[in-house]
Amino acid sequence: MPAGARSRGLPQGHRLCWLLWAFTLKLCQAEASVPEEKLSASTSNFPCWLVEEFVMAEECTACSNFQTKTTPECGSTGYVEKIMCSSSKRNEFKSCRSALMEQRLFWKFKGAVLGVALVFTFLVII
């Protein structure tokens, strides 16, 4: 650029920033303008405990071998609780986390942290 000439507009980096900002704004507007029909999806696709009040029929228990193979809720934690939904009167299973499982995970975590601390302690001393 010749001496004394002024550059017009924003520097190249700022233009790119404004372009990305405008693109993000357009994406957000496109997602926000979803038609009402799509937002009010049928509640039958969801478990009843997500859309209505429920009462716990059975406490959180470990899944049996048969339940593990047949009930998808047993897959994630290995524990389920039986619930009854108030308005639809349906009985369903809901995955849950047992206190005993949480305690074991806590002590495994504490042991791992202690092990890593000991390793780094010896590395610092040596």
The more confident residue out of 46 and 9 is 46
Predicted confidence (pLDDT) at residue 116 exceeds the cutoff of 70? yes
Could you tell me the pLDDT band of residue 112, with boundaries at 50, 70 and 90?
A: very high
User: Residue with structure tokens 């593990």?
Assistant: 68
Residue 124 to residue 85: CA distance in whole angstroms? 58
User: Which amino acid is it at 25?
Assistant: L
pLDDT tens, 31-83? 555 444 444 444 567 788 888 888 888 888 888 888 888 888 888 888 889 88
Whole-structure pTM over 0.75, yes or no? no
3-state secondary structure of 93: strand
Strands 91-95 and 79-85: antiparallel
Can you tell me the distance from the alpha carbon of 89 to that of 64, in angstroms, rounded to the nearest whole number?
A: 25
Q: Is the pLDDT of residue 20 over 80?
A: no
pLDDT value for 11: 58
pLDDT for 72-89, tens place per residue? 888 888 888 988 888 888
Contact 50, 42 (CB under 8 A): no
Q: Is 89 left (phi over 0), alpha (psi -120 to 50) or beta?
A: left
> What is the predicted pLDDT for the residue at 4?
55
